[in-house]
Amino acid sequence: MPELPEVETSRRGIEPWVAGQHIVRAEVRNARLRWPVSDEIIALRDRLVISVQRRAKYLLLELGDGWIIIHLGMSGSLRVLPRPAPPEKHDHVDLLMSNGCTIRYTDPRRFGAWLWSADLATSRVLAHLGPEPLGDEFNGRWLFDKSRNKRTLVKPWLMDNKLVVGVGNIYASESLFVAGILPGRPAGTLTVAEANLLAETIKAVLLRSIAKGGTTLRDFMQSDGKPGYFVQELQVYGRGGENCRVCGTPIQTAKHGQRSTFFCPRCQH
């Protein structure tokens, strides 16, 4: 599933083509996504896009009287087509822009979403979310305070969107490795120093992935059709049985919260 760096990469990719332009119309070829495409989106005509923002793993297109909320799901991607091109089987939504380009949404599994909201504060998909990991509110003090008396294992705890948004499976594993923290420890065992280091590490790992265009494991592509190159820098994720790049110990795997976890038993404590 595309995680925060992949969504931010998509936002940056489409923003120059969309912000300040008008949506001439939307072409919805298949409205049956995770939830039905909102009627307000299907009916769009000649609407100015004021800005392109991101909240957690959601892309937000600001219009005059509301917002288009886009989630890429497990296999969704947005591409910028400078010139018209015939749609293929899994190309479900197009935004035809006033500058002549098309923003095309492709989703083979159809687990993504295109929703309309008149007010983001009351949006059912955004209201429960925690702070952004790259924002000032998220820091070591926040992590330490939230971890007190928590028996939940630290890795699935980091993936709880009520604690912090966008730290999915890949980046939780990678951040815990860089911080030297075993993913199977209870969150309540974190020290102040470890919480500070972990918060700083999460920010650094996410920013590094964004700079590399995200991580392509299977489905994710950037808005220009290129893969994300952070996959070349993964330290533990997807490397079960391979030698640790730091100490040479074989990377181990475990199941935490029904998700695969990768870690080095020597570098992490």
Catalytically active residues, by annotation: 2-3, 57, 259
User: What is the per-residue DSSP string for 208-232?
Assistant: HHHHTT-B-SSS---TTSPPPBGGG
Q: How many CB atoms lie within 10 A of CB 210?
A: 20
Among 222, 249, 250, 241, CA closest to 80: 222
CA–CA distance, 117 with 191 (Å, rounded to integer): 41
